[in-house]
Amino acid sequence: MIAKQLSVFLENKSGRLYEVMEILEKENINIVALSVADTTEYGILRMVVSDPEKALKALKDNLFSVGLTDIVCICIPNVVGSFSKASRYLSEEGISIEYMYAFALNDKALAVLRTEDNEKCIEVLTNKGIEVVSSERLKKI
């Protein structure tokens, strides 16, 4: 149930984000989720995409600094306290969340998590009834 995320290092310069989007569009790769974190010099674009291996190759071929990272994606009800429960379960087991990003649509919320132990994260959340989203399902979102 571990999924893959692209991490792309981008200069803080107009048009760089568009260049990545254009490459993925030309390769017919869908972006499922994304997050951008920035500093004054560069940004880190994190993306869950429909074909991570193909995206990795396409971006490397276009001279982007890019890598693949293991992540866990969960699907929870879009109601108050849902993510609190999931994070409590992880905290109780001593699993630290390095970073996350999330989005909600109608009655469901999806959260992308990078933890210090993704396998244990999956085990804990699954045992507590939290839905872990497979890579195959992510490709279809």
Query: For residue 97, what are the CA distances in angstroms to 5, 40, 108?
Result: 15, 25, 21
* Helix intervals (H) in 62-114: 82-92
Annotated domain spans of the chain = 2-68, 70-139
Q: Which CATH number is correct for 70-139, 3.30.420.10, 3.40.50.170, 3.30.2130.10, 1.10.4190.10?
A: 3.30.2130.10
pLDDT tens for residues 70-115? 999 999 999 999 999 999 999 999 999 999 999 898 999 999 999 9
Whether the predicted pLDDT of 134 surpasses 90? no
State the chain's maximal CA–CA distance in angstroms.
Answer: 45
In this prediction, residue 1 carries a pLDDT of: 82
In this prediction, residue 127 carries a pLDDT of: 97
Q: 14 forms bridges with which residues in the sheet?
A: none
Residue 138 near residue 73 (C-beta atoms within 8 A): yes
Interstrand relation of 31-38 and 131-132 (parallel, antiparallel or unpaired): unpaired
Residue 84 near residue 109 (C-beta atoms within 8 A): no
Tell me if domain 2-68 and domain 70-139 are identical in fold. yes
40: confidence class by pLDDT, cuts 50, 70, 90: confident
Looking at the domain that runs over 2-68, which CATH code has it been given?
Answer: 3.30.2130.10
Residue percentage of the chain with pLDDT more than 90 = 84
Residue 52: which residues within 8 A CB-CB, separation 6 or more?
4, 5, 6, 68
In this prediction, residue 139 carries a pLDDT of: 75
Residue 71 near residue 112 (C-beta atoms within 8 A): yes
Model pTM score:
0.87
Give mean pLDDT, residues 47-76.
96
In this prediction, residue 30 carries a pLDDT of: 94
Residue 58 near residue 23 (C-beta atoms within 8 A): yes
| Cβ neighbours, 10 Å, residue 66 | 20
